[in-house]
Chains A and B, each alone.
Chain A
Amino acid sequence: MRMNETEKELIKMVLSGRAEAFEPLVTPYRGPLLALAYRLTRNREEALEVAQEALLRAFRALGRFDISRSFRNWLFQIAANEARDRLRRRTRERAAFDEAVQGAPAAENPETGHDRQEIRSDLMRCLDVLSPREREVFVLRDLEELDIRETALALGCSSLSVRVSLSAARRKIRQTIRENFPHLEEGR
């Protein structure tokens, strides 16, 4: 997906100091960006923080944006990085917490915790079976429809690595649908 002329104009305006042009530039992506963050973090509050941080980072880094790329994909790349950083941080914090309370009953898996807080869609429950990397690849390639090259660029890895993770993700998704969500398979 290439940039349109309006986006290029708006970017030029922001770079020339007219910060108010940033809002019309990103408004078309406010929904998709939040949805992406939600699918990656699987938590509404965290998704909101990820999307906010991604937009702030995008504003600060706009001068380094390569206009030969898709602006949408660039935003998605920033959001995916932010979501990954948060996931890592959360995992580290949880490990430190578990270590500190050794002997206490095993801590609840954060992802299971989300189940209690939110009524989750079938899609989100299908995504639960994927590893973090598989989920990133599957969400960007199959749900957001970035191509393999853009997905690799967004995740900072090779196309080969994307293909390996994508293959594993599709295998698991198909298996999960067959076993747990037959109504999806039947199109109901």
Chain B
Amino acid sequence: MTCRRTKRLIPLYAGDDLRPQLARAVRAHIDACPACGKEIGEYRLALARIKAAAKDEARPDWGEGEWRALMARVAASAVEERHPTTILRPRWAAATVLGMSIGLAVLSMLFRDAAFGPGSVTPSSEPAAMDAARKQDVVAVTLVSPETGLQVVWFFNRNFEWKGDEN
């Protein structure tokens, strides 16, 4: 190995960071070359000095309040991970209520048809109500948007077949 190549490798050799094969080649060279050996000594000294300076250096430290505040943030983030906050936005809340109302209206009509339909058994003590139900051929469902005030009316026949709408 030449001095030129050795000098390129000295910074890594000085910190024992060369691969074993290259380190062996450098060691063989410096055994025979005092100039390169001296340079390695200087690098090692510089590294040792700067490491010593790093150990002696006054390091910044956490204020106790800063540390406590950080640990509180960690604890809070743990709680949040376990119980994510569900925020129901007003728009979604309104849509949910509207949807549930429609569902309930539809269900109530279906059950009413089942109770008072042609094949159902009705109590003989309520003939008037049964007749009224049979006579109701059209059912109207009104949908109102709580945000815009827009109203839509849907009409269904007694078999719950859609017959039209009206704005």
Contact = CB atoms under 8 A, between A and B. Distances in A.
Contacts of B166: none
A142 B12 contact: no
Given A59-B77, A187-B49, A170 B57 contact: no
B70 A55 contact: yes
B46 A173 contact: yes
B62 A122 contact: no
Contacts of A143: 50-51, 54
A contact face: mostly helix, strand, loop, or mixed = helix
A167 interface: yes
Interface in A9-55: 17, 19-20, 22-23, 30-31, 34-35, 38, 44, 47-48, 51-52, 55
Given A173-B46, A185-B45, A121 B11 contact: no
A2 to B, nearest CB: 20
B74 A123 contact: no
B71 interface: yes
A173 B54 CA distance: 13
Contact of A123 (B14, B57, B60, B70): B57
Contacts of A122: 53
A174 B50 CA distance: 9
A38 B58 contact: no
A20 B74 CA distance: 9
Interface in B6-46: 8, 11-12, 14-15, 17, 42-43, 45-46
A43 to B, nearest CB: 10
A163 B12 contact: yes
B66 interface: yes
Interface of A: 17, 19-20, 22-23, 30-31, 34-35, 38, 44, 47-48, 51-52, 55-56, 59-60, 121-124, 126, 141-143, 148, 163, 166-168, 170-171, 173-174, 177-178, 184-185, 187
Interface of B: 8, 11-12, 14-15, 17, 42-43, 45-47, 49-51, 53-54, 57-62, 66-67, 70-71, 73-75, 77-79, 81-82
Given A44-B60, A123-B53, 7 more contacts: A23-B74, A48-B62, A52-B70, A122-B53, A123-B57, A124-B57, A170-B11
Q: Which 5 A-B pairs have the closest CB atoms?
A: A19-B78, A170-B11, A35-B59, A174-B46, A167-B11
